[in-house]
Structure 1
């Protein structure tokens, strides 16, 4: 005798997590439902957050989320070689290279051969890039405050600590991260 079908037609973005945990653990009882729920919730919230920031702040500026990440990284760290930009922005070197073509075309970034290593390309913001990222980051941070306003300051501090704990565990747990 089979179990009744779950009502997949009435699922939404958040209720899908309950459905996924329930259905997966029914089929695979050995699955750890708490770990599954935590990772599903974390990735779904991160995805929703990125989509919101990109659609309300960055797309109106003509940027993608990766474009913002490159501009933000260069703004804070100053001129950097493309390899370092890829590393600090969490992107591949190929993705950074392709993205910089657009940012350079838009007058936000310049690239030149590194004086230290002629094989490397150094990226830097133009004045237009600095002006764009500083004005846009104000709107970005306003959305960050909107998202985090549902948590008290102590809850925010706890969540930051927990996320940092997960992030720093990668080395100890042989977890693959982008170099």
Structure 2
């Protein structure tokens, strides 16, 4: 018997939703029984899965149509927030790797969205700033992304969204925990 498209989609969604419980089950079999550890495992797994889905969705519906990548958007956003940055600070602020920054900056500069200028007092240092065209492209990206963010968070009440923002800010702003 062949599955219809609707049945295949329903099966895919069911597998996606049962993943967390299966993960917990297998971790219990490995000997992880502390509920806090199991919650931490599930939280990290779910954040990683969500980040991948958001990135894919934002690139498809927002950034690619504007000729951007996710890394390019994050860089433009960081430059806008700080009104320009030293090139070596972009990765820390935008959450991008040095390799993706270098590649994305070259593309953004070639498109006329950013400029790189040497610091007179230290010729090794570059300051990266948005151009007017970069600001306009970013404005369009922010407008489109805000609509996608609104759609993704529509399942949460206002108080839930506020609490989630608070919790994620707490996690992201902590020092990196020491390795065992």
What's 2:5 paired with?
none
Give distance in 2, aligned partners of 1:130 and 1:151: 31
Compute the TM-score of the two structures, normalised by the length of structure 1. 0.82
Give distance in 2, aligned partners of 1:130 and 1:73: 12
Displacement, 1:23?
Answer: 2.2
Displacement, 1:41?
Answer: 1.3
**Superposition RMSD on alpha carbons, in Å?**
2.0
Q: Deviations over 1:143-177 (max 9, x none)?
A: 11111111111111111111122223335x337xx
Instruction: Tell me whether 1:157 sits opposite 2:162 in the alignment.
Output: yes
What's 1:12 paired with?
15
| Match for residue 140 of structure 2 among 111, 124, 135 | 135
- Structure 2 portions without partners, runs of 5+: 1-10
Displacement, 1:131?
Answer: 0.8
Aligned length: 165
CA contact (8 A) 1:108 1:126 kept: yes
Task: Judge which range, 43-52 or 132-141, deviates more.
Answer: 43-52
Compute the TM-score of the two structures, normalised by the length of structure 2. 0.82
Displacement, 1:42?
Answer: 1.7
Instruction: Tell me whether 1:45 sits opposite 2:53 in the alignment.
Output: no
- Higher helix content, 1 or 2: 2
| Match for residue 174 of structure 1 among 172, 175, 178 | 178
Q: From the superposition, tell whether residues 114 and 12 of structure 1 become closer, same or farther in structure 2 (CA, over 3 Å).
A: farther
- Structure 1 portions without partners, runs of 5+: 1-8
Give distance in 2, aligned partners of 1:168 and 1:88: 12
Give distance in 2, aligned partners of 1:74 and 1:65: 14
Task: Judge which range, 40-49 or 135-144, deviates more.
Answer: 40-49
What's 1:122 paired with?
127
Give distance in 2, aligned partners of 1:60 and 1:107: 17
Give the ranges of 4+ consecutive aligned residues of structure 1 lying more than 4 Å apart after TM superposition. none
